Amino acid sequence: MPSMLAAAVEYRALKSEFTDATLYVGLSVVPLHRWSTLDDVVEPDDASYERKPITFSAPEERNGMATIYNTGSTVFDPWEDDEDQEIVYAFVTTAASGTDGEIRLVIELVPSSKPVKGEPVQIPADFIQVGVRY
């Protein structure tokens, strides 16, 4: 059984990495993995697309697990043109744009999305969940 110290460290790490951080969510048209960097991401090229701010709840503790959820839905503006590639992943990053930052989380989107002109892309509240067991 993990020590109380290990549990406190896991809880603080989850809180500092997600709840207390300034984070953004972006979309990728190429597959990503947990070791991906922002240099690996290929974002949609639609003129209306930009990463959006995202916030996470305080960790909820239950049965040796601390879990956080994204608060509120995140809506990407309606596409100006039909997207020509499938949006297959979302990612949570420390960077509002560009590649100077780190990816904190990669989320496979099932099903993938291929927005058409005038259609927004939405990530609903509580869709992204991160948990640590201690």
Of all residues in the chain, the percent with pLDDT exceeding 70 is 91
- Does the bond joining 111 to the residue before it have cis omega, within 30 degrees of 0? yes
The pTM of the full predicted model, rounded to 2 decimals, is 0.89
56-75 per-position pLDDT tens digit: 998 888 887 889 999 999 99
Residues 6+ apart with CB under 8 A from 127: 70
CA distance 20 to 28: 25
Of all residues in the chain, the percent with pLDDT exceeding 90 is 70
Q: What are the domain boundaries of the chain?
A: 4-133
CA distance 23 to 25: 7
Question: Two tokens at 119?
Answer: 């259609």
CA distance 134 to 131: 10
